[in-house]
Amino acid sequence: MKTKHNLLGASLLGSQLLASAPAPAASLTSTPFGRLADGRAVTRYTLTARNGVRVRFISYGGIITDVTAPDRQGRPGHLVLGFATLREYETKNAQGELYFGALLGRYTGSHKSWNRSYQ
């Protein structure tokens, strides 16, 4: 259930980023990103806008692994910090509490008094 909410949140964020594109055309693709230590498969999704903005996120916590956008000269630039492998997201985030690319914090949904709605 958490994965569905995380993917929904990541999709909404990506949609908002792509909404600023001058042309409505965008693409969404998916590729395998690896397997967690417990064997669950993780997928990487790539949202690409016609204007060159690309957002990549994984189904493990909705982590944004890459945001690339063209600069004034049209050269692509990376805008977020991240790890190269799924294993690093799984282990280094937990060790150092870095949470690179985390769309949702580690305490999301853990407090009964918090109200949250998804539209």
Determine the pLDDT at residue 3.
Answer: 47
CA separation for the pair 13, 18 (Å, rounded): 9
Of residues 54, 56, 88, 94, the one with CA closest to residue 70: 54
Determine the pLDDT at residue 91.
Answer: 83
Domain extent listing, the chain:
2-96
How does pLDDT run along the chain (119 residues), one tens digit per residue?
444 444 544 554 555 555 554 555 899 999 999 999 999 999 999 999 999 999 999 998 889 999 999 999 999 999 988 888 999 888 876 666 667 777 665 555 555 555 555 55
The pTM (predicted TM-score) of the whole model is: 0.65
Identity of the amino acid at 5:
H
Q: Is 97 exposed, middle or buried (0-12, 13-18, 19+ CB in 10 A)?
A: exposed
Determine the pLDDT at residue 8.
Answer: 46
Cβ 57 vs Cβ 3: under 8 Å: no
CA separation for the pair 76, 26 (Å, rounded): 17
Determine the pLDDT at residue 105.
Answer: 56
Identity of the amino acid at 116:
R
